[in-house]
Structure 1
Amino acid sequence: MAKNGDDAEEFGVLRSKRNATRYQILVQIAKRQPAVNQKEIADAIGITAQAVSDYLQDLIEHEYVNKHGRGRYEVTKEGVDWLISQTDELRHFVQHVSEDVIGQVEIETALATTDIEEGQTVSLTMRDGVLRAMSGSTGSATAVAVTDADPGRDVGITNFDGVVDYDLGTVTVVAIPNVRDGGSSAVSTERIVEMADDHDMVAVAGVEAIAAADTANLDPDIRFGSAAAVQEAAAKGLSVLLLAATDVLSSHTDKLREQNVSYEVVDVAEE
């Protein structure tokens, strides 16, 4: 019987150069059988004819190949099954590299501010929390476009060089008392409106905070997932006014501290 247990694991084609060579030889035999010229296989995969002979003997011992006389070989059913299993392994690996490595790490998306052609060098900036690309290499950070784009359209970029120059944003936190302590009625609506005018975005967390924003006729930019959203907005250079009910305040400030985002808590109690 073929040695299918531990040997099948040992033969994993991605595990060593030796295993990869076994795989290539077995493919060549399957393509050429039954008349197999060892020198042709050697030339096809870039090794010596003697190495092919040694590998053949190994494959015969593992019953992946049968020998029917001088120069006549045939891949066995076990050999075919092994080829299929290793090909599946290769296919999964290629898919992983394509989707998880190349697709997600090397290619980013920016907003085009000029006409951009594929292959063109672009300069990168961060504005309003959005990565932007313009044709040319005058900025502190550059990349290469992998797609065409008109102004205002998304463009794929890769081959990054330099650092995008922008300041981190800040967060101003207004604590809105619990409803038992007065809720939204306990804070100054006028002060909240004034502060909102000085910030890029308004976020709310908790019902009391939503009520405070409604009373001030503010339409919050962030209403859900505010702890993570506020942190990300500040990390991309935006200033955020966060209205947070006292019972959820600490979860938001903890998140900001974890990411080293600058923030201050202000008192806007109604006088």
Structure 2
Amino acid sequence: MVDVLENKRAATRFRILVEIAERQPAVSQGEIAEAVGVTSQAVSEYIRELVDEGLVEKEGRSRYRVTKEGVDWVFQSASDMRRFVDHVTDDVLGSVQEDAAIAEAALDEGETVSLSLADGLLHAAPGDHGGATGVTTTSAEEGAVVGVTGFEGVIDLEPGHVSVVQVPTVRSAPNGSDADIAAVCADAPIVTAAGVEAVVALRAASVDVTTYFAPGEVAADAASRGLDAVVVATQDTVGRVTDALRDANVGYDVTQ
């Protein structure tokens, strides 16, 4: 398989080629940079390499076209990704026979249940109302863990949003107040910190930190389960956080 899914640089090349193909011949490097999430300088360097390799041809100032070789490379990469997605959905996810849920009432084995997400966790309630259903594989009392299989339908879920708050590094001047941080975090069920300065800033604001390990990934996972999250990050770690959020296709905003 082409390493687009394994190599970040290859993934960036792929996205830039797609953006050029969509916008050609008049190509704005700034717009591509914004769409891909890199700097305009980085886009310029990538395009120069793509031209040198014959995947893109330059027709004039800010005018580019993807060559036949470039189209073939994008097509091959997309085909490989499609095969990988098919493998995941058909072979991997299709082989998942059972999941765990929290029983919202006493349940018997073999009972049809309605499935929902609450606080980011799967819940099972008696009956077949709602958009997603399953069949219990175990018995459980209310509040206990119950096994569920035979999933049908789609769980109604509104994805969460992630607010990324920047704080200065140890060598920078402060750019916010404890009250500002506390206000942003007030209603967020998940608060993560990237960097020691971020941890200290949250403690000074009397905010409990959910975790400071893999903060971007944790926030992205929470948002995918319908929970809003806040990531407080130092100015030199915010890029890694937003990379994780973009990779998970999670909505976010960055404030200072």
Into which bin does the TM-score normalised by the smaller protein fall?
Answer: 0.5 to 0.7
Structure 2 counterpart of 1:160, from 151, 162, 165: 151
Point out 4+ residue stretches in structure 1 off by more than 3 angstroms: none
In the other structure, the counterpart of 2:244 is 255
Q: Structure 2 vs 1, CA of residues 160 and 262 (structure 1 numbering), >3 Å: closer, same or farther?
A: same
Which string of whole-angstrom CA distances, capped at 9 and with x for unpartnered residues, describes residues 167-210 of structure 1? 0100000011111113xx43211111111113222111100100
Percent identity, aligned pairs only?
Answer: 39
Q: For residues 201 and 113 of structure 1, what CA distance do their matches in structure 2 show?
A: 23
1:163 maps to amino acid: V
Q: For residues 186 and 133 of structure 1, what CA distance do their matches in structure 2 show?
A: 46
Matches within 5 A, 1:142-181: 142-181=133-172
Secondary structure, counterpart of 2:115 in structure 1: strand
Q: Deviation at 1:165?
A: 0.4
Q: For residues 187 and 255 of structure 2, what CA distance do their matches in structure 1 show?
A: 14
Q: Deviation at 1:222?
A: 2.0
Do structure 1's residue 206 and structure 2's residue 195 form an aligned pair?
yes
Q: TM-score, normalised by structure 2?
A: 0.62
1:189 maps to amino acid: D
In the other structure, the counterpart of 1:125 is 116
In the other structure, the counterpart of 1:71 is none
Q: TM-score, normalised by structure 1?
A: 0.58
Do structure 1's residue 240 and structure 2's residue 229 form an aligned pair?
yes
Q: Deviation at 1:149?
A: 1.0
Contiguous gaps of at least 5 residues in structure 2: 1-90
Q: For residues 183 and 230 of structure 2, what CA distance do their matches in structure 1 show?
A: 11
Contiguous gaps of at least 5 residues in structure 1: 1-99
Matches within 5 A, 1:51-90: none
Alignment coverage as a number of residue pairs: 166
Q: For residues 144 and 108 of structure 1, what CA distance do their matches in structure 2 show?
A: 10
Task: Give the CA RMSD over aligned residues.
Answer: 1.9
In the other structure, the counterpart of 1:187 is 176
Q: Deviation at 1:227?
A: 2.2
Which string of whole-angstrom CA distances, capped at 9 and with x for unpartnered residues, describes residues 206-228 of structure 1? 00100101101111112212122
Q: For residues 161 and 211 of structure 2, what CA distance do their matches in structure 1 show?
A: 15
1:186 maps to amino acid: N
Which string of whole-angstrom CA distances, capped at 9 and with x for unpartnered residues, describes residues 103-145 of structure 1? x711011111111110000000111111111111111100000
